[in-house]
Structure formats: C-alpha cells, structure tokens
Amino acid sequence: MPDNTTVGGVSVDTRHWIGGERVASVETFADSSPIDGSVLGEISRGTPKEVAAAVAAAKAAFPAWAGTARAERARVLHAIADGVEKRLEELATVETHDNGALLRSHRRGVMPRVAHNFRFFADWLVKLDHEDFETRGHTNHVSWDPAGPSVLITPWNAPLMLATWKVAPALAAGNTVILKPAEWSPLTASLLADIAAEAGLPAGVLNVVQGYGAEIGDALTSHPDVRRISFTGSVPTAQRIAASAAANLTPLSLELGGKSPLLVFADADLDLAVDLAVEQYDNAGQVCLAATRILVEEAVAHEFTRRFVEKASRLQQGDPRDEATDIGPNIHPRQLEKIDGFVRRAVEAGARAVIGGHRKEGQYYAPTLLTDVAEDSEIVQEEVFGPVLTLQTFADEGEAIRLANDTRFGLAATVATGDPERAERVTAQLVAGTVWVNCFFVRDLQAPFGGSRHSGVGREGGTWSFDFYCDVKNTVTAPKGWADHG
Ligand code: NAD
C-alpha cells in the first residue's frame, strides 16, 4: 500500500504520525473528493493498537513539554504558524480537494486563521496571568499547570481550522496531543504533523491518528492516561463520548451543533438583513454557527423574501476551485442524502420551497428557502447541515424571542435591528453562546466560544481555553513566621 498520495500537486502522507514517526495500519480507508467523487488517497485505518501507541507517545513526551519554559513553547508555536504561512497555498489546495469548501476562502480566510490560531495562543500564553491576592495576610497564587495528554476529535466542515483551534491552546498550555481528524477530510492534519515537526515540536508532543470514529473513538475517549477530551461534532457522537469519558471522569469540552436564529425586525436595514441571511449558505450550509432559522417581523416579511430571492438567485454554485464560485459541493453522498431527506419530509409536511428544494447534478444541493414550516416540525427543530434555511414570521418582540429560543440548541443568534435599545433587550433574553447584532461571524479568539443546551459544554477561547486545558491551581502561602491554626 502506498504511504502517500498527491493531491492538487501536493504530496500528503497517508499514515498516522505517532511519537515522531510515520506508522501504517494494516488496513486503509478510501478518502474521496466532494468535487468529483474521485479517490484522493488510501488512508491508514487506525485501530485501538495505534491509539494505545499514540497515547503512550503523548504520555512519554508530556513531562518534558510541560516543563518547557512558556517563552520556548510560544516560540515553537510561532514557528508552526510560520510553516503554515509558508505552505498556505498547499494547505488551501489540499483542503479544497478534501472537503469541497471554496479555495478562495481557504486562501484568504481559513488558512490565515489557522496560522493565527497558533500565534494567538502563543502570545496569550506568555501574558497569561492572575494577580495574586491576600487572605488574612496569606498570599493566593493562581497557576495554570499543564493537564496531560489531550485527545482532540474534529469534524470535516472546517478541518484544519477547527483542529488547530484546539491543537494550538492545548500545546500552548503544555499538554501533549492526540488529534483524530474526521474520516471524510483527513489530509491537512497529516500536513500539520509535517509542519509541526519541521518547526521543532519534539516527537510525541503532537500525534495524529487517522480512522473511523466508530472504530477507534472509544479507545481514545476511555483511555485512563488521557487527561482532556475536546470534541467538535454532532450531538449523538458527543453523547457517546461523554458516556465513554465517564469511566475516568475525563474533563470534556464539547462544541456541537446548532439551529441558530436570525431575527429580522421591521426597523432593521433590510438590505443588511438580506445580506446576513444569504451569507448562511456559506460553505454549502455546513457551518455549525449558521443562522438557519430566519425569523422576520410580519410587516416586512414580503419585502424581505422578495429581496432575499433576488440576491440568492445570483449565487454561483459550482467547482470550489473556481474564483467565481459562491457555493461548492456538499461533503459526501451520505450527507447529500441526509439533506434531501430533511427537505422531502418538510415538503410532505406542508412546507413550500421558495427557492431550491432539490439536488443538482454531482454532489450539489440547490440553495433552499422553505416557508410554511410549523414551529415544532423536524425542519425547524433539527440541524440539517446543508444549504437549507427556513423562514417564519413573528408579530412582535415577545414572539420573536420565544421562537428564537424554541429549540434544544443554543449556539448562536443574530439580530438585525435599527434600534439599539431593542438590541439590548432582545440579546439579554436569547439563549446562545454568541450573539451578533447587525453582523455575522465576527470572531475574536479572546472571546468565549461555545454553546448552551445541546450546542455544547464549556467555553474555549483566550483564558477559557487555558482554564480547560490546564489543571488550574491556587497556592496559599502563609507569611513568614505566621502560624494560623484557625
Ligand atoms: P460527527 O459527530 O459525525 O464526527 C465528528 C468527529 O467525531 C469525527 O472525527 C468522527 O470520526 C468522530 N467520531 C465519530 N464517532 C465517534 C465516537 N464514537 N467516539 C469518538 N469520536 C467519534 O460530526 P460531523 O458530521 O463530522 O460534523 C458535523 C457536526 O459538527 C455538526 O453537528 C456541526 O454543527 C458540528 N460542528 C460544531 C462546531 C462548533 O464549534 N460548535 C463546529 C463545526 C461543526
């Protein structure tokens, strides 16, 4: 079996990366491109044996990396960022072939953000601090101790961006890592291993295990030597991971799905609101934060829909390598089937497709807007993860808030209004980890990020990431000569 493959002219190793060496499994799995269904490579299909080796390597490398001075850890992270920037074009090309997202987004937004993930957490590490404080003359000193080997499990919709959003803070914190990328988009994680090694990251500090979650997930998440598990993916998988981690009470961070609302009030700048709504088709709708439920005040619903249809119908769907393309393919035939199933059942239940509502040739789904959807229907309550939006109307602010909060999710919400006081009142009542007012997707890495309810457990970003990846310790020291027996 070949050890590597060439994708868009870039050579990618298809084996695991364990303890600073390439390791092959006996079996492989085929990784195919959403662009044309072609097989990109045969990837090592991990088993519990490789998981055990990766955890052992991470455990062995932990004391030295945890004991490395903060400034030196930060230097290595910046060197990884340099490597990402140097190979940005290669990373963008491979990612586009592997997950079908736009090449121009990978070049201009996603891969620069990957480099920024490393730079940001390197810099945050250096200034991470907590002022000492006093208790009856005693000093309290808070420190962030590295926690240990960390398992990071990631999805396919933004593979390297979401992986490094976890890898960077985990490494910065002084932890060692076992990264398990999604089986539908395994390639850039392998390139990251090369980049990290070239940057001087010691062997065993970052390990990459490829394979099917269903086959190796349990070995990863129930391992007694694993000190942290950070997962981004679907709710059912999170439930399995939580059950598996319970055996060792391993701390978990869960970033899960969403069914986020976009609330459009009659006092909003309607063109802006339409722009925000159409933006939800980005990445062919495969964005956890996407505001897929559009809630519009009755008075402007007709005009909003008219302008939305006009704008959405100008979107170009096609090859994600083409500069003019706005919407690429969906990740996998199974995902396409899932999206189509949701829409067919919605239409059977009485929904009307204002635009779209059908598959297109190849692995594409037409951008879809559904109206006449019942509040308790599947299409309003469940995450589709495709280019499918629903539109509901509301009579007043109270109804808008009630509809917005009426799902089991709570990842994000977007509010379009021209009234700052309304914005304040409404946002205060929304259940969501992130709320955007008159904007969307503005993300600062120092901000807390995560979801409420079934959208997740915990927050990451800035100090929140270090809180998670570290064993935070408070040391209380008595003043010299003090004997406190109280
Ligand atoms: P998924 O849950 O099917 O898979 C995610 C990862 O989990 C993959 O690497 C998979 O191999 C692994 N996995 C599968 N079974 C496992 C098991 N039993 N134990 C351990 N790992 C296992 O999710 P997906 O379809 O890849 O991703 C889409 C989902 O991710 C959507 O629900 C989306 O909303 C969510 N998501 C959330 C965020 C966020 O930040 N909140 C970001 C992106 C995606």
Q: What is the CATH number of the domain that holds 327?
A: 3.40.309.10
Same domain, 102 and 191: yes
Same domain, 338 and 361: yes
233: CA distance to ligand 1 center in Å?
2
State which ligand 1 atom lies nearest to the alpha carbon of 182. 9
Label residue 334 exposed, middle or buried (CB < 10 Å: 0-12, 13-18, 19+). exposed
394 residue type, one letter: F
State which ligand 1 atom lies nearest to the alpha carbon of 158. 43
Q: What is d(CA 295, CA 449) in angstroms, rounded to the nearest whole number?
A: 24
Q: What is d(CA 17, CA 131) in angstroms, rounded to the nearest whole number?
A: 40
Element (H, E) at 333: helix 333-348
Quote the radius of gyration of the chain (alpha carbons, Å).
Answer: 23
User: Would you state the structure tokens that stand for residue 342, as one six-digit string?
Assistant: 């949701």
- φ, ψ of residue 319 in degrees (nearest 5): -60, 125
Q: Which residues contact 280 (CB under 8 A, 6 or more apart)?
A: 262, 287, 290, 291, 292, 294, 389
State which ligand 1 atom lies nearest to the alpha carbon of 449. 40
353-363 in b/e form (b: 16+ CB < 10 A) is bbbbbebeeeb
Q: Which residues contact 263 (CB under 8 A, 6 or more apart)?
A: 295, 400, 404, 413, 414, 415, 416, 417, 426
Whether residue 444 lies inside any domain: the answer is no
Q: What is d(CA 55, CA 225) in angstroms, rounded to the nearest whole number?
A: 7
Same domain, 111 and 243: yes
Number of domains in the chain: 2
User: Taking Cα atoms as reference points, which of 455, 461, 397, 407 lies closest to residue 429?
Assistant: 397
Ligand 1 site, residue 257, Cβ cutoff 6 A: yes
66: CA distance to ligand 1 center in Å?
29
Residue 366's domain spans which residues? 261-437
Label residue 479 exposed, middle or buried (CB < 10 Å: 0-12, 13-18, 19+). exposed
Q: Residue 269 CB: number of other CB atoms within 10 A?
A: 14
Nearest CA to ligand 1 atom 9: 182
Q: What is the DSSP string of 439-464?
A: ------TTS-B--SGGGEES-BSHHH
Per-residue confidence (pLDDT) for residue 483, from 0 to 100: 64
Whether residue 212 lies inside any domain: the answer is yes
Q: Residue 394 CB: number of other CB atoms within 10 A?
A: 20
211 residue type, one letter: G
User: Would you state the structure tokens that stand for residue 398, as one six-digit string?
Assistant: 């109270």
Query: Does the CA dihedral 333-338-344-347 come out positive or negative?
Result: negative
Same domain, 272 and 229: no
Q: What is the block-wise mean pLDDT of the chain (486 residues), using blocks of 10 residues?
A: 94 98 98 97 98 99 98 98 98 98 98 98 96 96 98 98 98 98 98 98 98 98 98 98 98 98 98 98 98 98 98 98 98 97 98 98 97 98 98 98 98 98 98 98 97 98 97 96 62
Same domain, 144 and 117: yes
Same domain, 281 and 248: no
User: Taking Cα atoms as reference points, which of 82, 62, 67 lies closest to residue 122?
Assistant: 82
Whether residue 142 lies inside any domain: the answer is yes
Per-residue confidence (pLDDT) for residue 65, from 0 to 100: 98
Same domain, 172 and 210: yes
Whether residue 160 lies inside any domain: the answer is yes
125: CA distance to ligand 1 center in Å?
28
Whether residue 59 lies inside any domain: the answer is yes
Q: What is d(CA 351, CA 277) in angstroms, rounded to the nearest whole number?
A: 19
Same domain, 94 and 194: yes
Whether residue 20 lies inside any domain: the answer is yes
Ligand 1 site, residue 148, Cβ cutoff 6 A: no
Q: Which residue in the block uniquely carries the two structure tokens 């600073």?
A: 20
Per-residue confidence (pLDDT) for residue 2, from 0 to 100: 83
Residues annotated as catalytic are 255
Whether residue 87 lies inside any domain: the answer is yes
Contact 66, 175 (CB under 8 A): yes
Ligand 1 site, residue 140, Cβ cutoff 6 A: no
Per-residue confidence (pLDDT) for residue 1, from 0 to 100: 73
| Angle, CA 8 vertex, CA 6 and CA 13 arms, to 5° | 30
Contact 233, 256 (CB under 8 A): yes
Best residue among 45, 51, 157, 388 to mutate for probing ligand 1, ranked by most atoms within 8 Å of CB:
157
157: CA distance to ligand 1 center in Å?
9
211: CA distance to ligand 1 center in Å?
13
Same domain, 428 and 367: yes
Per-residue confidence (pLDDT) for residue 385, from 0 to 100: 98
User: Taking Cα atoms as reference points, which of 17, 37, 55, 329 lies closest to residue 187?
Assistant: 17
Q: What is d(CA 75, CA 81) in angstroms, rounded to the nearest whole number?
A: 10
The CATH number of residue 212's host domain is 3.40.605.10
* Greatest Cα pair distance in the chain: 80
Same domain, 195 and 306: no
Best residue among 234, 385, 411 to mutate for probing ligand 1, ranked by most atoms within 8 Å of CB:
234
Ligand 1 site, residue 183, Cβ cutoff 6 A: yes
Ligand 1 site, residue 117, Cβ cutoff 6 A: no
Same domain, 58 and 187: yes
Q: What is d(CA 210, CA 11) in angstroms, rounded to the nearest whole number?
A: 17
Same domain, 57 and 106: yes
Whether residue 196 lies inside any domain: the answer is yes
